[in-house]
Structures are given as C-alpha cells and as structure tokens.
Amino acid sequence: MNREDCRSMAYPHNHRCRFTGGFYCRDCSTFFGLDTEDYIRTERVVEIYLSCRNLRAFYIQKSLDVPSSLSMMIDRLSAHMTPNPFSMPLEEVKRLISDALAVINEHSQYSKNLHSAVLKRGVSQ
C-alpha cells in the first residue's frame, strides 16, 4: 500500500510504531517525523486530545465542574479525528492545535506535570 492509499483509509496510518522523533506506518512503510503533515494531522492532534481528556478526568475526579471551554475543545478535536483527519486544510489543523494548547495552558495549573511536554512542543510540531 502506498502513502496516498493509506491516507484515504477510514483510519489512516492505523498500524503505527511510535518513536520520539515521529512514527513509522507499517501499512505504507513510511516514517513520519514530527514536522510532517501526516504527523501533525494524526499523532499530534491525538496527543493533544488525550491531554484534554486527562484534564477533564482530573476535574471529574476532584468533583469539580468541567469548564465548558475544555469540553468544547474535546468535541472539536474529536470531530477533526473522525472520519478522516485529512479532510481539513492544514492551516485549520494548526489553528485547532493552537487553540487546544491555549485551553490546556489555561487549565494546566491543576496538573502541570502531565501536560508540560505537550505545551513545550507547541504548534509547529
């Protein structure tokens, strides 16, 4: 399978080997570094989505109200991931990442250690 065929699947690059510097897709036999479009659209968005979900879990565990900005961001990120993360223009994806990082930063005082790596990497990756 080639890269374009893999991108058009319901779950693109589904069989991934994750590395510090990116991921290797076993379906299309391609390595995607941190600055590649495929990494930004898939791994980076999922990483941020999971950070938002972890923040929401923190609020729930502490019996606090989940901020609406956090809930809305989780919904926006989820909508991007399904059905195809390649349907949105890359600049919109980067704007979504930037918005999500702002929300994480706004609420990160509750679990700084969990999200410090996500915030350090910023939008460009």
Domain regions of the chain by residue span: 36-121
For residue 103, the model assigns a pLDDT of 92
Predicted confidence band at 109 (pLDDT cuts at 50, 70, 90)?
A: confident
Segment 74-85, tens digit of pLDDT: 999 998 887 788
Separation CA 105–CA 1 (nearest Å): 39
Pairing of strands 22-25, 16-19: antiparallel
Provide mean pLDDT across the span 78-100. 89
Segment 19-74, tens digit of pLDDT: 888 899 988 889 999 999 999 998 899 889 998 998 898 889 889 899 999 999 99
Question: Taking the model in full, what pTM does it have?
Answer: 0.82
